[in-house]
Amino acid sequence: EPVESFDYVIFGATGDLTMRKLLPALYRRFAEGQITADSRIVGTARSPLDDETYRERARKALGEHVRADELIDATVNRFLRLVHYVSLNGAESTGNWDGLKTLLESNASADRVRVFYLATAPDLYGEIARNVSEQGLRSDTSRIVLEKPIGTDLDTARKVNENVGRYFPENSIFRIDHYLGKEAVQNIIALRFANPMLERMWDRESIDYVQITAAETVGLEGRGGYYDGSGALRDMIQNHLLQVLTVVAMERPESLDADALRDEKVRVLTSLKPLDRNNLRANVARGQYVQGTAGGKAVPAYREELPGETESNTETFVALKAEIDNDRWQGVPFYLRSGKRMPEKVTEVVVQFRAGEPGLFGEARPGSRLVIRVQPNESVTLPLFVKHPGNSFGLDEVDALSKLGQPERIRYRDSYEGLMLDAVKGSPALFVRKDETEAAWKWVTPILEGWSQDETGPDSYEAGTWGPESARELLQQAGHVWVEDI
Ligand code: BG6
């Protein structure tokens, strides 16, 4: 089913995100017949390029970031006909806005959907929104998509929201968190609420603790300028991991409507017990990698990867214990962690059920462990004990395993594919609402403040390991262990 014809205007069109994620996502949806041939994709950035030069860059990007078997020359050529380029600094009111306007008005009917996708530095969002609006480009069917990070703390996030909100109503603002575009994250909602058995066991009575890990093997990837001012807490925890947490922990929403869903997610965020400098040490571990081995080869320390500055205290790893102050979750730790230069690239949720009683089968039975693998190789596994065949009551552990769907035959869509078209359709369910971003920042900001007053800085960990010892100790206090140590 194609979506209605649209114009997609991308600010930051020569940047990394556009080349690596946005254009490939649009290409794939086009190749699947979801994008009509009269839709347009208009890249804007400061570089003075013409359409042809930009198309060649786009072609190269597709060559690098789309799997070879999905690249069909004729399809690529047809796709590139949709692509245009206008040289423009979106944050300045002078410049070729007329060119952009003329292009947008050239064949569009008045009510054609326009999506303005902001993939620039976030401090420009307010200005771009203002210019788009004051130059008369915004219509009733316009939407604006904001990439993360929205701000760097609660105050700056509020400012971004306020500045953009002056020109776009909230229901046309789509804050993207690409983790919500991941098939296996969306599946958590189905798993929890489509299986009454699990739904009944999804609380403190049955669940001992939860772990949410997003580990990466990469280091700085040449993004030092951005990353060093950010760190793992802002880059991953504030958005992606807290989003996964909300989906794992929320109450059953009244419906799957955008607001019903997001109301419940906000409730989780506002119920998080505050962490601040008084309880930081016991609940949060931060680390920075020193040299080690990754993927079989020696890699330098974070501080050596950084251009120039060597004394940085930016954390490349965070592990923390979050608690949700409500009836369902009182006393159940949610351990969140994310880091660069870990031993493997893996995102997963581990739900550890409580241990059983000793008796029939000897010692207390260990609690079952439900593992939701978000990437790579999406799956849900739940090992169960069954009787060993034969004359005794020995036990075997079997893996009740499910891949999601049929991954051998079906390629899961990249997280951006669905989300970019949701913005066209005007479906905000999988986007982050204003109060949601602000609630997440409200919880995260005191941690940042606590750190800034603590001169010890992050603990070191060797590249290619699971983070500093302090991350292990965080769980040991409660007799818990990270999944790789079990
Ligand atoms: C981005 C972060 O939001 O997510 C990056 O800025 C990180 O630092 C990336 O590498 C991880 O995304 P994914 O989809 O590869 O898990």
92-103 pLDDT tens trace: 999 999 999 999
Distance CA 312, CA 299 (A): 18
Residue 405 has pLDDT above 70, yes or no: no
Q: Measured from the CA of 179, which atom of ligand 1 is nearest?
A: 14
Which residue's CA is the closest to the ligand 1 atom numbered 5? Answer: 235
φ and ψ of 39, to 5 deg: -75, 160
255-274 pLDDT tens trace: 999 999 999 999 999 999 99
Which ligand 1 atom is the nearest neighbour of the CA of 239? 3
Cα(88) to ligand 1 centroid in Å equals 27
177: pLDDT strictly greater than 90? yes
Task: Provide the pLDDT confidence category of residue 364 given band limits of 50, 70 and 90.
Answer: confident
Q: Which atom of ligand 1 is nearest to the CA of 178?
A: 14
Q: Cα separation of 46 and 95, whole Å?
A: 10
Give 407 or 280, the one with higher predicted confidence: 280
Which residue minimizes the CA distance to atom 6 of ligand 1?
235
Q: Is residue 277 pLDDT above 80, yes or no?
A: yes
The pLDDT of residue 147 is: 95
Largest CA distance in the chain: 84
Q: Is the pLDDT of residue 280 over 60?
A: yes
- Range scoring the smallest mean pLDDT among 65-74, 104-113, 379-388, 418-427: 104-113
Alpha carbons 273 and 340: distance in angstroms, whole number: 26
Q: Distance between CA atoms of 133 and 469, rounded to whole angstroms?
A: 51
Q: Angle 414-418-423 (CA atoms, 0-180°, nearest 5)?
A: 135
Rounded-to-integer distance, Cα 90 and Cα 9, Å: 11
**pLDDT 10s digits, 206-239:** 999 999 999 999 998 888 788 999 999 999 999 9
Nearest protein Cα to ligand 1, atom 13: 179
pLDDT of 310 strictly over 80: no
pLDDT of residue 271: 98
pLDDT in tens, 190-200: 999 999 999 99
Confidence of residue 179 (pLDDT cuts 50, 70, 90): very high
Flag whether pLDDT at 133 surpasses 70. Answer: yes
What was the pLDDT predicted at 224?
75
Is the CB of 177 inside a 6 Å radius of any atom of ligand 1? no
pLDDT at 392 over 90: no
- Residues 241, 242, 244: CA angle, nearest 5 degrees: 65
Q: For the chain, what is the mean pLDDT?
A: 94
**Tokens read off for 312:** 């940085």
Q: Which of 240, 243, 374 to mutate to test the pocket of ligand 1 (most atoms within 8 A of CB)?
A: 240
Kindly tell me if the per-residue pLDDT of 163 is higher than 90: yes
235 CB within 6 A, ligand 1: yes
The pLDDT-based confidence of 406 (bands split at 50, 70, 90) is low
| Ligand 1 binding pocket includes 216 (Cβ within 6 Å) | yes
Distance 236 CA to ligand 1 centre (A): 7
Predicted local confidence at residue 403, as pLDDT: 67
Range 332-352 average pLDDT: 97
pLDDT above 70 for 108: no
User: What pLDDT, on the 0 to 100 scale, is given for residue 486?
Assistant: 84
- Residue 72 pLDDT grade (very low, low, confident, very high; cuts 50, 70, 90): very high
pLDDT of residue 190: 95
HEC assignment per residue over the chain: CCCCCEEEEEECCCCHHHHHHHHHHHHHHHHCCCCCCCCEEEEEECCCCCHHHHHHHHHHHHHHHCCHHHCCHHHHHHHHCCEEEEECCCCCCCCCHHHHHHHHHHHCCCCCEEEEEECCCHHHHHHHHHHHHHCCCCCCCEEEEECCCCCCCHHHHHHHHHHHHCCCCHHHEEECCHHHHCHHHHHHHHHHHCCHHHHHHCCCCCEEEEEEEEECCCCCCCCHHHHHCCCHHHHHHHHHHHHHHHHHHCCCCCCCCHHHHHHHHHHHHHCECCCCCCCHHHHEEEEEEECEEECCEEECCHHHHCCCCCCCCCCCEEEEEECECCCCCCCCCEEEEEECCCCCCEEEEEEEECCCCCECCECCCCCCEEEEEEECCCEEEEEEEEECCCCCCCEEEEEEEEECCCCCCCCCCCHHHHHHHHHHHCCCCCCECHHHHHHHHHHHHHHHHHHHCCCCCCEEEECCCCCCHHHHHHHHCCCCCCHHHC
For the cut 90, the answer to whether the pLDDT of residue 363 exceeds it is no
Q: What is the pLDDT of residues 408-432, one digit of tens each?
A: 556 678 899 999 999 999 999 999 9
Establish whether 240 is a catalytic residue: yes
Confidence (pLDDT) at 296: 85
Give residue-wise pLDDT tens across range 235-248: 999 999 999 999 99
Q: What percent of the chain has pLDDT over 90?
A: 82
Provide the residue type at 1 as one letter: E
